[in-house]
Each structure stands twice: as C-alpha cells, then as structure tokens.
Chain A
C-alpha cells in the first residue's frame, strides 16, 4: 500500500509540472506578454507602486530573457522546493523555502496571504456538499435499482437528468430571487456565510430575556443552506445513475446468487454484499466530480457573495490583477490534483482486488 502511495505521488509530479506550464503559458503567450496585464492596471495604482511594478516584474520574471528562462525563474519562486536567494539575489543553496506566489499590487499584500484567506470558505463549501451529493446518490441509486422499472426508478431517472442540466447560475439566481429577495419571500439572507455579528453569538440556539437567539450554528446553517443546495443540485444525478447500474450489475453477480442460495435475506444481500462492491465505481468517478464541484463554486460564490476562491478570481480578473489570477489557477489546480490523489488512495483501500505491487 505504502509503495503504491509513493508511486502515485511520484506520478503526480509530471502532472503538477504540466499544470504550471499551462498556467504560465496562458499568461506568457497573451498579447503583450507577461507584464502587459499588470501594466494596464497601473491606472488604478498609486504613483510609487507603478515604479515598484516595473522593478518587480524584472526581478521576478527577467522580462529580457527568453520565455523558457522566465518560466523556470517563475517556477523556482512558486515552488516550495528550489534555489534559495539572499537579499542581493545571489543563489544561496537548494532546499525547502516558503513559496512566493508574488505580490498583489492592488491589494498591497502578498498573493499567498490573499489566497490563504479565500481558500477556507471554498473548501468548506465543497467539503459540505460532497457528503450530501454522495449520500443522495447512493440512497436513490440503491432504491432505483431495487425497484427497477417502478415509478421511483423512472421518475428519478428523468428528473435527475433534468436537474443535471439545470445551470448552476440559473438555480442560484432563482433561489436568491425567490427565497432571499426583499421583493419576494425574503426567508434567507442574500449573501455571505455568516451574519456580521456572528462572532458574538453563542454556539447553540438559546432563549434569553430579549427573546430567541439563533446562535452561531443555526446562523451558519441558515446562510449556507441555499449555496450548498445550489452547488450539489447538479452533481448527484450522474452519480445516482452510476450507483443504480452498479447495484444492478452486482445483484446479478455470482456472489450475490451464492449469498441468496445459502439463505441470506434479500435485504442483507443488498446491504452486506452488494452495497460495498457497488460504491467502488463512485469513488473512481470522484476524479471528474471534484474539479466540477470546485468549478461550480465559482458561480455559487459570485451569486451568494461568499468571499472564496471563485469570487476572488472574478474580482482579480476585473481589476486585472494578473499575479492573483495566475496563482489562483495554480492553487486550484493543485488542490484538485491532491483531491484526485486522495480519491485514488481511497479507491485502492476500498477495492482489495486491485493490486498495485
């Protein structure tokens, strides 16, 4: 097992390098080259910052050098392992160092700090939707397979294909419009993950002299219900269909027939024997679900004004903060790569038939 994980980690390196190449070349082959976007944002900057931008661009990328050299220079700075440099810019050994994702001139702080603030809300949203998506998919998939051809199977089959096709932005806009807008129901807040006063709330709901306080937990649920629904609505359709066909296949397998033949009840055949085998394909397709969820949160965050990676990305594009756009694409790519790695390891753990030696 350990050797598999190590091998898988080593295989990840070329992919990681590939991600950096793509991110860099998108920026480098844009009209005007790597500094163009940053220079065009100078109108929004203070005078002293503009001079700094020029000096910064030359120091970071070496714009007079060929593109390949620029790439390696940039790669060395963003990677946590590389050539260290002292104050004068001379090489000072090779080893671990803090990754330098650049400087956001418009926000006047290092990109890495901006991203460190934006990453938790996005991860939180995704980690919250994954169990919901998988839970619904597994339950409905089993049910549809067990009662194959009945009403539930047929309705969920077409209903989920419909839900899958609903654009996230449409469901988001309709939810905000109907359930949050002051013109209509106004049941939910229009944006954010917490109330502005949530830091002062107790954790659990409580009654006090001045009435009911909803507390931090309830407040968060109240704020997050719509975004999480919106994010997960499209994903379970595909998984549920997969679960259904996988359960059907396993119910007809030899081991299920053997179990029935030795007198195991139908329910136990399904729950003890078939279920654990049927979940395996769901873990394999995590590779396509996870990047999709991360991408979907861009739209959800911008509709529900949650200050996560997606909203940051859009703000960065509007303000032409190129360093931020570049680093953010890189960070999201890395996050998604690591989640794929996790899915692969889970797959190896879940399926003892697979041998990686």
Chain B
C-alpha cells in the first residue's frame, strides 16, 4: 500500500509540504467523520449507564456519569413479563441452528455446483442465481400458509428449517467462488486413491475451506440475530420471542416511560454482533470485498 503511494509521489510533481498538508487535512476529515458516525453509538452506551433522571439532562455528553450504575440493565432485563435471559437464549438457539443449517446445506450445494459434473448443472446454477434477486415478499404468504398447515407457526421451525434447505442462496454463491479456487489436482489424487464425491467433499474440500465457512457462519449468525421480520410473523408467544422482537415489545409497552431500560437492552442486543466485529473483522471485510455483500 505505502510503497504504491511512494511510487506515485516520485511521479507526481507535488512538493513534500503540499503532500503533508493534504495528508493532514485528509486525516482530519476522516477523524471528524468517524466521530460523527460513531457518536450516536457512544451516546447510547453512555446513556445506558446513567441514572434515569440524568439521561435527558446530560445533553449530548458521551462521558460516563459520575453516578453511573447498572439499574437500567436490571430494570430492562426484567422489563417484560419474560426475562430477557429467555429471549437471549431463544435468539442464540435460532441463530446457532441457522449457522449449522446454512453451513451444511450451502456447502453441499456449492460442492455440487463447483466440482461435480451432471446434466443441467448450468441451468440449476442460473436458477440459484435468480433466487438471489428475489424479494422475499413474493414467497412470504404461501410460505406462511405452508408452515401454518404444518403446525409450525409459533415454533422456531419456520425460522430454522429453510436454512437446512439452503434457502440463503447467497452463501452457496459465496462458497462456489471459494471452492473453485481449490486446486483440482487434490480431488484427482483422492479419486485415484478411490475416494468418492462424498469423501472428497468431507475430507478435502471442507477442511480447506475454513475461511469461507467461517465467513458464512458469522454472517448467518449476525443476519439471523438481527432478523426482525421472520420472528415478527412466526412467533407470537412472548416466551419464544427473540431479542429483537422483545426490544420492539419494549418500545410499544414501556419504552415511553423507561428509556434507560430500553437503551440498556438495545446495547446488550448489539453486543454479540459487536463481538463478532471485534474478533473477526478481517474475515468480515474480506468476505464483503470479494463477493460484494449487501451489509
């Protein structure tokens, strides 16, 4: 990166002082922009630790209050008829199962598209790509009727089972791209040793694909964790609510009176996503850069 920039400096005729000024101005711009962008988040974090009566009197400050405490967290945690602990558990179960489903089903399909020869492969691959563009609203109502008839409404099944059927075609695409980069000689060698497609998939392709599998797992987790529409439609019993659904109930029922509790639970709801961001930032950014993800 820097070497490229240095080479440019040689070619361009700009004086070193001018370069310096431009660099300082750019940094200043970027720092101001970062602060502006992150300010709402910092404010939310600070507000969640303030005593209730200070939330709106401390103005735009993001400095911690000297009277900081965890009361908002305690109140918020028990702010609904069901403890937020249950909602977090539900969200973790749904997101966890979705991760397993997506990684398994999408990698199976991706292996077929990337490595196996069979009649109609191009056609089905094109079909898969078409579903990427499809607005989910167009399948929404018949799917709802289907799950209603199966007796799955008000269970986690409508949220999880589609993941085991590779319904998130985006991840198939992601994995196909990656699998194609694995040298075919490895498959050939294994085939010489008598390995069938299943063995090759399990013993060669999957172990060599941990980066893409991890990327798919992390994005699946985050998207499922954040998903609001699915739980909104399929879950109606408070004990089965996800965190996001609980937050919305909070807004409707007590949000107007208990801002502190609402902010505290909002912070907690963001913690798992933020943790992934902190630990797997490189994977996430590479995943987006190579495939162009929407988020």
A and B part of one assembly? no
Listed in ascending order, the chain A residues whose CB lies under 8 Å from chain B are: none
